[in-house]
Amino acid sequence: MTKRTALVTGGMGCLGEAIAKALHDAGNAVWVTYFPGHEEPEPWLDRLRNEGYELQAVGVDVSDYDSCRQCVDQLADKGVEIDILINNAGITRDASLGKMSKENWDAVLRTNLDSVFNMTGLLYGAMVKQGWGRVVSISSVNGSKGAYGQTNYSAAKAGIVGFTKALALEVARKGVTVNAVSPGYLDTPMVSQVPEDVLETQVLPQIPLGRLGKPSEIAALVAFICSEPAAFMTGSNVAMNGGQHMY
């Protein structure tokens, strides 16, 4: 089996870590990105190495095109060719539209959507040239159904789906598949910021399975999409949300 190399943006977050582990378990070499000046990779890498995961990290501001280009050039200088790209980096800046600042609109769109253009645009050409590649972008249930106070986040996540479908058409004959995954509410630090009473009375009652999702469950799906047996799967937006939104 050919050993592939994967890059997971936002890889030091809860979901990103789960995806990185799943891809590593599937036999891939795995790199993750971190935000220089905001995240320190070495303690995280040391912890993962103690668990048996030999991961590598590279710094980048995914919202900035020039930073992404420098990241890709840095990897190339190390002789690293990316076969699998997971666009996972994301933030929230929630507020109703009337109270949302332009700064918070821009921050979410740049980090959650522009990053997908930046990283994919810089990496997919080499995948096309070699005739094999996987691009998986993490959208959200709220990109499909919307959420109060998340016009920025929902717009960005919906944009990921459109980007995915369009690029999938462009590279379908080139051996590169392009897919999106739309998780529901997961048991992550981001969701833990939701007040417990809101979680119990408003969020969980909307989920037919009656619980939050596990990052490892999403990661297993992503690992499959990146595998050889998933080669006939492209242009898909796969919902994994406990039945909260069916489409």
Active site residues: 153
The CA-based dihedral angle spanning residues 172, 125, 41, 216, taken in that order and rounded to the nearest 10 degrees: 0
| Residue 176: HSE in the Cβ half-sphere, 13 Å Cα cutoff | 27
CA distances from 15 to 74, 88, 93, 188 (A): 25, 8, 18, 7
CA 65 to chain centre: 17
5 vs 85: CA distance, rounded Å: 9
> Which residue, among 163, 155, 68, 148, has the nearest Cα to 106 in the 3D structure?
155
